[in-house]
């Protein structure tokens, strides 16, 4: 469980692109926040800074009062789910889900127990010995989520996780993601350019434009009839 805070966060890439401009935000414990906005508005950069995959040019990031700007990605207690799944192709599902836990030194028994529990939750327990190329897109995304869940993170970070799936599966998975997040109560930040997805998932939405928060509020506040 965790609060996330961004104060005056800026990102200027080495080519001069000012991707994020003075973003301030407080995300409550257990809240599901969605960053929504057009391609290139800076959503992914924001998320990747929270993950520790991009440096912060100016401003501060906090998880539970701890400033994390200089904390390594592995030590931030966050888990990210990528659009392209980012699974290891030569490893089985079990291997993919175990890998991060092995690296941090969990015992074999502990790892197996966590992997089985997550696989059951995500309905992939029959696929544990398969490799990613033997799975459908939806199944791969479940594995990517399983790999995030087993870490028992304080924060989930989702970067357009459903964009590569067909429309029907997108709807189904988005319902499952929401249920799972509710059940686990893990603070979540979810990036999408899809407004329907954003409205369905979000406790609160941050509408991003040109590197800034244009609007922030509950879906019903932002999308009510004029
Ligand atoms: P979004 O996720 O909303 O599509 P991004 O965060 O990926 O937006 O990109 C925001 C801006 O930063 C864009 O103008 C993009 O071209 C630029 N940008 C993203 N990544 C890099 C990078 N590695 N180097 C330089 N510019 C980048
Ligand atoms: P982009 O939004 O630019 O497409 P990617 O989804 O390609 O970003 O992510 C960049 C790469 O970082 C991934 O392909 C992956 O190999 C690596 N990576 C960083 N953190 C993690 C993580 N927690 N789990 C798995 N892969 C990670």
Q: Are strands 32-36 and 187-192 parallel, antiparallel or unpaired?
A: parallel
> pTM for the complete prediction?
0.88
Task: Report helix angle 137-149 to 108-121, nearest 10.
Answer: 130
Ligand 1 mean position to 111 CA, how many Å? 36
d(CA 47, CA 89): 25
Ligand 1 mean position to 49 CA, how many Å? 12
d(CA 134, CA 172): 21
* 73, containing H or E segment: none
Backbone CA torsion sign across 59, 73, 159, 17: positive
Question: Best substitution site from 45, 51, 81, 86 to test ligand 2's pocket, by max atoms within 8 Å of Cβ?
Answer: 86
* Any atom of ligand 1 within 6 Å of the Cβ of 209: no
Question: Best substitution site from 11, 44, 45, 191 to test ligand 1's pocket, by max atoms within 8 Å of Cβ?
Answer: 45
d(CA 136, CA 53): 27
Q: For ligand 2, atom 18, name the residue with the nearest CA.
A: 86
Beta bridge partners of 4: 27, 63
* 25, containing H or E segment: strand 18-27
ipTM tops the 0.85 cut: no
Query: How does pLDDT run along the chain (226 residues), one tens digit per residue?
Result: 799 999 999 999 999 999 999 999 999 999 999 999 999 999 999 999 999 999 999 999 999 999 999 999 989 999 999 988 889 999 999 999 999 898 888 999 999 999 999 999 999 999 999 999 999 999 999 999 999 999 999 999 999 999 988 999 999 999 999 999 999 999 999 999 999 999 999 999 999 999 999 999 999 898 775 5
Ligand nearest to the CA of 206: 1
CB 188 within 8 A of CB 156: yes
Q: For ligand 2, atom 3, name the residue with the nearest CA.
A: 44
- Token digits of residue 88: 């290891």
- Token digits of residue 149: 């869940």
**Which letter, b or e, does each residue of 11-28 get, where b requires 16 or more Cβ atoms within 10 Å of its Cβ?**
beeeeeeebbbebebebe
Ligand nearest to the CA of 18: 1
Q: For ligand 1, atom 5, name the residue with the nearest CA.
A: 42
* 190, containing H or E segment: strand 187-192
Give the position, in ligand 1's atom list, of the atom nearest the Cα of 160. Answer: 2
The ligand 2 site (C-beta within 6 Å) comprises 44, 53, 80, 82-84, 86, 159
Distances (CA, A) of 15 to 11, 12, 18, 136, 222: 11, 8, 9, 38, 34
d(CA 140, CA 62): 31
Ligand nearest to the CA of 97: 2
d(CA 47, CA 155): 11
166 three-class SS: coil
Give the position, in ligand 1's atom list, of the atom nearest the Cα of 41. Answer: 3
Give the position, in ligand 1's atom list, of the atom nearest the Cα of 54. Answer: 23
d(CA 35, CA 23): 12
């Amino acid at each position: 469980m965790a609060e996330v805070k961004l104060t005056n966060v800026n990102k200027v890439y080495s080519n001069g692109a000012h991707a994020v401009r003075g973003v301030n935000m407080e995300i409550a414990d257990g809240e599901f926040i969605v960053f929504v906005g057009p391609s290139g508005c800076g959503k992914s950069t924001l998320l990747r800074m929270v993950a520790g995959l991009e440096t912060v040019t100016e401003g501060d990031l906090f998880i539970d009062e701890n400033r994390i700007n200089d904390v390594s990605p592995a030590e931030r207690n966050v888990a990210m789910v990528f659009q392209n799944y980012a699974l290891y192709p030569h490893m089985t599902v079990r291997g993919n889900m175990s890998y991060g836990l092995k690296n941090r030194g969990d015992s074999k028994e502990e790892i197996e127990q966590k992997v089985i529990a997550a696989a059951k939750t995500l309905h992939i327990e029959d696929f544990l010995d398969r490799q990613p190329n033997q799975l459908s897109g939806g199944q791969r995304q479940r594995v990517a989520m399983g790999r995030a869940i087993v870490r028992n993170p304080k924060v989930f970070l989702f970067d357009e996780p459903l964009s590569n799936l067909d429309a029907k599966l997108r709807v189904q998975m988005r319902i499952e993601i929401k249920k799972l997040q509710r059940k686990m109560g893990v603070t979540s930040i979810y990036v999408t350019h899809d407004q329907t997805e954003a409205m369905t998932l979000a406790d609160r939405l941050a509408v991003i434009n040109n590197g800034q928060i244009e609007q922030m509020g509950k879906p019903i506040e932002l999308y009510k009839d004029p």
